[in-house]
Structure 1
Amino acid sequence: MKIKKGFNAIYRNLKKFLNNTFFRAKFVFTRYYETKEIDNQSILLQSYSGTSMTGNPYYLLEYLCKNEKYQSMIKYVVSTKKNYKDISQYIQNKNFKNVKVIRIHSRKYCKALACSKYLINNVAFPTYFIKKEGQVYLNTWHGTPLKALGKAMTEDMLTIGNVQRNFFMCDYILAPNQFTLDILRKDYMLDKLYKGKYLLNGYPRNHIFYDEEFRTKLRNRLELDGKKVIVYMPTWRGTHAIRNDTEQFYYIMHMLIELDKNLGNDYIVYVKEHNMSSLKIDFEQFEKIKEFPNEYETYEFLSIADCLITDYSSVMFDFANTGKKIILYAYDEEEYLKDRGMYIDFHSLPFEKVYTSRDLIKSLNQVDEYRNYFNEISDYIHYDQINTIPDILGLMIESQSSELLNVIDLKPNPDHKPNVLIFTGALFKNGITSALKGLLSHIDKDKRNYFLTFTKNQVNPNKKTVAELAQDFDYIVESGEKNFRINEVIPSFLYFRFNVNTKYIQKKIKSLFKREAQRLYPNMKFDYIIHYTGYERKYMNLFACMDGVKMIYVHNNLIKESASKDNIHLPSLRKSYNEFDKIVIIRDSMKEELLGSLGENADSKVCLAHNLNNYQNIQNKATMDIVFDEDTECNITVEELKENLSNKNTIKFINIARFSKEKGLDNLVRAFEKYHQMNPNSYLTIIGGYGPTYEETLDLVMSSPAKEAIAIIKSISNPYPILNASDVFVLSSHYEGLPMVIMEALILDKPVISTNITGPKEFLEQGYGYLVDDSVEGLIDGMKEYEKTQLTLLKSFDYVAFNETAIQEFEELFK
């Protein structure tokens, strides 16, 4: 079966290599990146991922082509396959010399991207791009942000990875105003790691608004004298994950029909779609409504407009340079803004706002009547009045300074604090995540800079946890897949699929992950690197190839666990135990358990650092109402659960654990079944975040004679009110590290019954819990003992003192 799955994976990837240009480009780019030299006479310009050649990159290209000293340089312009013909014709019509249009992800593109000395973009290069030492990268971005960016995009905060890492690779990031600069720094979390410089200067694309001669010539050429030229530029209604053009299409079509019917003959309305949109408007049905002409760069044509109609687009700030009328047609304001964070209060914008076609027509009929907004938005367009295109290119290409350029060199980490990178794992609703939260709530951020890192697809189901942690910590999202050389594919396949481990394979694995470290963490230096979960094989191999003091946590005996689970890669685990600098155990007896499997000299690296509890958070959340999440599954309703837990005449047992074999939930259900026959006034709640045995456990519960007295809950973000409403916690596991949940129960003054297994035993035998045999009979004995004595002789848990000791142990790791 394993061999069959392996060959199926080979077949799928071979098919992708042959048919998927993006997948193939990762290999092609990597070969050029590692084998070709930089061409000092080439520059690559990419705008909006190749969907157009517009915006800031276009105006920089125009200057490069018109200025004699840059004539000999080869200028690569990037295009998508779909737009290749239009962009090629566009460049030809402009009569630009020494310009080559190349398709994104093609061989020519990969070579130009890997070898061009100078790189210009207004969004981001693909996830496989790694900047070569000696390349110079300018990111101009594409507007003053009105809507949330980066981590401020609550629904899309995990999509920022590729843009963020592109910023970290930049030598220069251009911002048109201080507001934009501050937003980019804050919400892409650049301050502590970005080593490049910021340019606080006018946008190249906005200088066209001050070229009155060009405006007059273009209007004359198009025979628009005496016409009132209106440009409509709606923003995109979708998200990074969901395209949503249909509803927008119907609203816009209704509006355009009304404008065509009711505006005077001296009006012409040009409609410019967002580059991410796919509206299919048939312009032939209109007389006064026309498609925005594609033979001109967007802002070239926009500069001749008498009025701009938009909604929530940053184009309003750029067009404000003209001082002409701006109308915000916000027909869906309430719906649009409810799901999007806004940096600026929409109602505070000094432009006229209309909500119906009738009011829009009324405003257009008074196109020359509007308030003077210039002073109110001067902070956003202050720098646009000066043409700094020659100076920007002079700095980038010739390292020439200029008095016109406002170059800001904000040195990262001015306090020289050590940088600590922590891999969080998937942030499942489990004990490891609780332990991580406890640790992060107590660490001293004045001593070190802490950065969290995780994989987008892994943590996507747990975005709420990411949002919670992001309030206090910067994070780096892994974006894209590994870049391979062809000769690394088979070694990687043999290593990860079949545990084949030779010197040659290790050589290829090392080269693969050394490159991956450069891709994921470009220009970043971490003094300490912590693999907190201790499970994920990729990060074991990745961190082994990075500089810095490397630590891996051991929450469970994974060598033992590997006998019953297939998610543990023993070669990677043993490699990390051998090559990492410190192996962090969370209970003292774990060292003895691991000694035989740690490898040569690994035992000297073992350090003890108990997990911490965020007891204040636990106590606060325990007082909240019991609430099911959208993804919560339960065999009863939340109202029924509340009613059952409020019954003072029943003994209420609870277990909180992953749905997995080693948690012994089958034993717990069977033990409760028998106990319930002896004492019908009893109730059991089982809560689990995830795991492979949920369906099996649910079936066991639903077929049990005691099913009416058992609640089984899958996935709930706040289990503490349920724990608080219960009487006693029962741990039924066959083996454990030191589960956080038993301490969480003690924090809420709930007595603990636990199977007598290593881990919990070490902690609970100090008088904190009642230990029973790891069997159905043992669990029944524990339940009967609680009924008899309420376990009143157990000691209370001093969680404050425990945390103080644990944080001291954590601090010792950095010595």
Structure 2
Amino acid sequence: MTNMKLLNMYKKAKVIILNSYYSFYYYKARLNKKLILMESKNGGDLAGNMFHILLELSKPEYKEYTVYLSVLESKQVSIQNQLNKYGMGNIRITRTNSYHYYKYLATAKYLFTDTSFNRSYVKKEGQVITNTWHGTPLKKMGRDVEDRAYGIGNVQRNLLFADYLVYPNDYMKEKMIDAYMLNDLYEGTILNEGYPRNSVFFHKEIGQDIKRELGLEDKQVFIYMPTWRGTLVKKNTDHLLALIEYHLRPLDKALKDNQVLYVKLHPFVSKDADYSKYEHIKPYPDQYDTYEFLNMCDCLITDYSSVFYDFANTGKKIILFAYDETEYIKERGLYVSLDSLPFPVVKSVKNLVYELNSPKNYDDTQFLKECCTYDSPGAAERICRHVIKGEKQCREEKLPKNGKDTVILFGSALSKNGLTTALINLFNNIDLKKRNYFVTFNEQALKKAPLRLAQIPEEVGIYPMSSGESFTLFEAAAYLFYFKWNKENAFTEKYLDRLYKREWKKHFGDTHFDHVIQFAGYEKKVINLFQRYEGAKTIYVHSDMVAEMKTRGNQHYLTLKNAYQKYDNVAVITSDTVPPTLEISGREDNIVVINNCHAHKEVIRKSKEPLAFDVDTKCNITEQELKKILAGDKKKFITIGRFSPEKGHLMLMKAFEKFCVEYKDVCLIIIGGHGVLYNQTLEYAKNSEEEIIIIKSIKNPMPILKQCDFFILSSYYEGLGLTLLEADALGIPTMSTDIPGPRGFIKDYNGYLVEASESGLEMGMIAFMKGEVKAMNVDYGRYNRGAVEQFDSLFE
């Protein structure tokens, strides 16, 4: 065994032990009504709202409470010094993600955060969570950031877990509720209350004291707080430091002797910045609370940071130094344009210096009314009294519900495949205003292709699942027995049931769904997860799962058997798949037929677009060669389906070669998205004497399909085969192997069936050449109306 494998085993064992420790307190320990757990920026900071709430909790009136602050190990010394400086001797530190931390996470009655707790946190019944967040958003957030929306799950679930959400203005409330899709899901209470950190701006003496302490009474003090421009994955620290220095050098020379500029950078950058070369520029002294320090400053310089929403309470000047505005907005996006704000926007150091030496010359009255609405002295006191002592000190608000049923569907990885097509077709045909629809998926599945989410209509919410299972020792054993060794007994039932009930609560808390739908029908972990939902639940069956297990071995029999027995509805997409489904479950009364919808209008529209390869498209001929073939007179046969054993591509190619002995001037096109047989398929085509074109991964194959003469579904087994319907919608003659799934549909519409063999496919090709195979020309409008009625019947 390699050292790497041993290391991985050690890491997994360590996580399981930690989870077991946490779960022990989660299940066995009572809540401590006098215990409070605080966390700022996931343990990486003590600033802003959390700092000022801690100040409030350090007062004598809360002396009967034990208050723990979660802190990363690397921050313990600096934060302890900060606590000491402000006389908060009663506040205790616990290391983030330590054993003690998990104990307090499971037993504290009151929890406060300005971001989110970690991904393994499960809210315990009776816990009271207050989430203040950490700023009014200027930059887009949540689902509004298209290439990062897939990763919002942990923040979203933490917001939904919260008993109290604090919003200092209606603008912020609206943006966050929309960006994290809290409407019709959030059951907690909104506190329309000022930010605790902003109360300091109403006490000028605090700033004056710091100014005296630092010997700056005769100085004009500025602070520069630029936005972090990297990501957690791509920090690019050297470039950012060079950029900052590029601006600070000439700025330092332009500043007067009675002026001093403090710079507060993101921790990733600040630790490497060198200020020794400057005369008038200094680093922010981190022993001070940021907002108390801001209260001292005469002017704030920032760019796209939400700090200006807070600083505006001082009435002092704000300058937006947006030297890279066009580039930044293109990458991240803003909710409002900088030009719509009252503050001066500058792009050069020269103009920045001019503004620093000019008095405030703008009117921010309307801005203060809209964006500093509830800020006032004593916010932390009111929040703590409201939340902990039960005194109604803050303005409360409940989000109104629209009275519609709420439905969540698991959509798998939203890959380029039939499952995703079926899901999008469903959304394109049902009335999305009839119910509140949400799509869930595993965050990691979209990490490499985040823009897949763009397929989901805006009217449909998203709710990513942000982590995998958090096993205890016994649950991990039960998991192995059940999934790896196919053992089912009282032990596996007990601990898998406990695991997945807790997992549901971890992801979705007490969020109410009227119906949950495992639409993909695959992925054993999610099948087991949805099975434990205590409410109406449906699982789809898109294929002959008996054949799937025999051919691909990609399904877990015990999972399917139990799911088909325990879900309220088992939705098969064609009547042909009822027998194999019944063979697995032995229960017939919960099996319903719900046909997949077909986006025939969209297929026709896409077929009119110009043919174009994507960046990731692979083909054994060039795009220009393909266009020439499609425009030519030779007959073009085509199939579309992943490069997988059940699709029968090898059988099709062999049949095509036999067919070509008699029939010349014909080519075969095979288009697939992915699959284990791609290389083998490509190699076979390469060695064939006939013209076989292999195309992998093309976003829109419809322009190719439209120019072909004959569509062949060559599968050994299939759910229905939506590509068959797509070809028919374009008026192309089609045929299919005589298998469950397509069989019923094709018989209903007088299509052409052949035996699932080389000879069967060859005979079908010959029949086409003789004019015996026609397009079915199905009325898809009528077909879809029937499918929608079937889908709606789930909710009756």
Report the Cα distance in structure 2 between the residues aligned to 1:10 and 1:197, rounded to whole angstroms.
48
Shift of 1:367: 4.3
Counterpart pick for 2:41 among 35, 48, 60: 48
Report the Cα distance in structure 2 between the residues aligned to 1:375 and 1:764, rounded to whole angstroms.
66
Shift of 1:775: 2.4
Q: Deviations over 1:208-227 (max 9, x none)?
A: 11211112222112111121
**Residue 768 of structure 1 contacts residue 796 of structure 1 at CA under 8 Å; is this kept in 2?**
no
SS of residue matched to 2:355: helix
**What one-letter code is carried by the residue in structure 2 that aligns with 1:624?**
E
Partner of 1:264: 256
Matches within 5 A, 1:33-182: 33-66=26-59, 68-182=60-174
Matches within 5 A, 1:194-209: 194-209=186-201
The answer to whether 1:644 aligns with 2:629 is: yes
SS of residue matched to 1:42: strand
**What one-letter code is carried by the residue in structure 1 that aligns with 2:767?**
E
**What one-letter code is carried by the residue in structure 2 that aligns with 1:108?**
H
Q: Deviations over 1:161-197 (max 9, x none)?
A: 0000001110000111101101111110111111001
Shift of 1:80: 0.7
CA distance 1:587–1:360, change in 2 (3 Å):
same
Please report the TM-score for the alignment, with normalisation by the length of structure 1: 0.94
Matches within 5 A, 1:19-38: 25-38=18-31
Q: Deviations over 1:781-809 (max 9, x none)?
A: 322332331734x5421111111111122
Report the Cα distance in structure 2 between the residues aligned to 1:144 and 1:206, rounded to whole angstroms.
12
Report the Cα distance in structure 2 between the residues aligned to 1:138 and 1:545, rounded to whole angstroms.
28
The answer to whether 1:787 aligns with 2:774 is: no
CA distance 1:25–1:292, change in 2 (3 Å):
farther
Shift of 1:274: 2.3
CA distance 1:331–1:710, change in 2 (3 Å):
farther
Q: How many residues align?
A: 796
Gaps of 5+ in 2: none
Q: Deviations over 1:557-589 (max 9, x none)?
A: 212211222321111111101111221111112
**Residue 424 of structure 2 contacts residue 455 of structure 2 at CA under 8 Å; is this kept in 1?**
no
Please report the TM-score for the alignment, with normalisation by the length of structure 2: 0.96
SS of residue matched to 1:789: coil
Counterpart pick for 1:419 among 395, 406, 411: 406
Report the Cα distance in structure 1 between the residues aligned to 2:625 and 2:325, rounded to whole angstroms.
40
The answer to whether 1:808 aligns with 2:795 is: no
**Residue 768 of structure 1 contacts residue 797 of structure 1 at CA under 8 Å; is this kept in 2?**
no
**What one-letter code is carried by the residue in structure 2 that aligns with 1:212?**
K
Q: Deviations over 1:736-784 (max 9, x none)?
A: 1211111111111111022222322222234543222322333233223
Shift of 1:276: 5.8
CA distance 1:31–1:738, change in 2 (3 Å):
same
CA distance 1:783–1:481, change in 2 (3 Å):
same
**What one-letter code is carried by the residue in structure 2 that aligns with 1:696?**
Q
Counterpart pick for 2:245 among 253, 258, 262: 253
Report the Cα distance in structure 2 between the residues aligned to 1:137 and 1:306, rounded to whole angstroms.
36
Counterpart pick for 1:520 among 483, 507, 513: 507
The answer to whether 1:703 aligns with 2:690 is: no
Partner of 1:721: 703
The answer to whether 1:653 aligns with 2:637 is: yes
CA distance 1:177–1:239, change in 2 (3 Å):
same
CA distance 1:19–1:514, change in 2 (3 Å):
closer
**Residue 237 of structure 2 contacts residue 268 of structure 2 at CA under 8 Å; is this kept in 1?**
no
Report the Cα distance in structure 1 between the residues aligned to 2:592 and 2:582, rounded to whole angstroms.
13
**What one-letter code is carried by the residue in structure 1 that aligns with 2:614?**
D
Report the Cα distance in structure 2 between the residues aligned to 1:294 and 1:252, rounded to whole angstroms.
19
**What one-letter code is carried by the residue in structure 2 that aligns with 1:391?**
R
Matches within 5 A, 1:427-446: 427-446=414-433
Partner of 2:229: 237
CA distance 1:133–1:450, change in 2 (3 Å):
same
Shift of 1:390: 1.6
Partner of 1:565: 552
Partner of 2:713: 731
Shift of 1:616: 2.1
SS of residue matched to 1:232: strand
**What one-letter code is carried by the residue in structure 1 that aligns with 2:496?**
I
**What one-letter code is carried by the residue in structure 1 that aligns with 2:777?**
S
SS of residue matched to 2:480: helix
Q: Deviations over 1:257-292 (max 9, x none)?
A: 222223222221111112565661012222222110
State which drifts further: 175-184 or 475-484.
475-484
**Residue 245 of structure 1 contacts residue 278 of structure 1 at CA under 8 Å; is this kept in 2?**
no
**What one-letter code is carried by the residue in structure 2 that aligns with 1:62?**
L
Partner of 2:277: 285
SS of residue matched to 1:371: coil
Matches within 5 A, 1:526-565: 526-565=513-552
Partner of 2:388: 397
The answer to whether 1:409 aligns with 2:387 is: no
Report the Cα distance in structure 1 between the residues aligned to 2:238 and 2:320, rounded to whole angstroms.
21
Report the Cα distance in structure 2 between the residues aligned to 1:673 and 1:747, rounded to whole angstroms.
28
Counterpart pick for 1:626 among 611, 628, 631: 611
**What one-letter code is carried by the residue in structure 1 that aligns with 2:26?**
Y
**Residue 527 of structure 1 contacts residue 547 of structure 1 at CA under 8 Å; is this kept in 2?**
no
Partner of 1:770: 752
**Residue 269 of structure 1 contacts residue 289 of structure 1 at CA under 8 Å; is this kept in 2?**
yes
Report the Cα distance in structure 1 between the residues aligned to 2:546 and 2:663, rounded to whole angstroms.
41
Report the Cα distance in structure 1 between the residues aligned to 2:554 and 2:272, rounded to whole angstroms.
47
Partner of 2:569: 582
Shift of 1:142: 0.7
**Residue 574 of structure 2 contacts residue 594 of structure 2 at CA under 8 Å; is this kept in 1?**
yes
Q: Deviations over 1:596-641 (max 9, x none)?
A: 3323xx1121111111112222222221122223322222333332
SS of residue matched to 1:813: helix
Report the Cα distance in structure 1 between the residues aligned to 2:21 and 2:229, rounded to whole angstroms.
35
Q: Deviations over 1:3-42 (max 9, x none)?
A: x9xx99995654114667xx75433322221221111112
Report the Cα distance in structure 2 between the residues aligned to 1:8 and 1:795, rounded to whole angstroms.
61
SS of residue matched to 1:472: coil
**What one-letter code is carried by the residue in structure 1 that aligns with 2:789?**
Q
SS of residue matched to 1:621: helix
Shift of 1:595: 3.0
Report the Cα distance in structure 2 between the residues aligned to 1:314 and 1:151, rounded to whole angstroms.
18
Matches within 5 A, 1:316-327: 316-327=308-319
Report the Cα distance in structure 1 between the residues aligned to 2:636 and 2:569, rounded to whole angstroms.
42
CA distance 1:414–1:325, change in 2 (3 Å):
same
**What one-letter code is carried by the residue in structure 1 that aligns with 2:688?**
S
Shift of 1:664: 0.8
**Residue 749 of structure 2 contacts residue 778 of structure 2 at CA under 8 Å; is this kept in 1?**
no
The answer to whether 1:363 aligns with 2:355 is: yes
**What one-letter code is carried by the residue in structure 2 that aligns with 1:379?**
E
State which drifts further: 120-129 or 377-386.
377-386
**What one-letter code is carried by the residue in structure 1 that aligns with 2:780?**
Y
The answer to whether 1:610 aligns with 2:602 is: no
Partner of 1:690: 674
Shift of 1:304: 0.9
CA distance 1:377–1:703, change in 2 (3 Å):
farther
SS of residue matched to 1:603: coil
CA distance 1:468–1:594, change in 2 (3 Å):
closer
Report the Cα distance in structure 1 between the residues aligned to 2:637 and 2:545, rounded to whole angstroms.
29
**Residue 576 of structure 2 contacts residue 743 of structure 2 at CA under 8 Å; is this kept in 1?**
no
SS of residue matched to 1:589: helix
Aligned CA RMSD, in angstroms, stands at 2.1
Partner of 1:466: 453
Shift of 1:94: 1.5
**Residue 51 of structure 1 contacts residue 275 of structure 1 at CA under 8 Å; is this kept in 2?**
no
SS of residue matched to 1:604: coil
Q: Deviations over 1:502-527 (max 9, x none)?
A: 12111111011111111011111222
The answer to whether 1:483 aligns with 2:467 is: no
Q: Deviations over 1:138-159 (max 9, x none)?
A: 0000111011111111010011
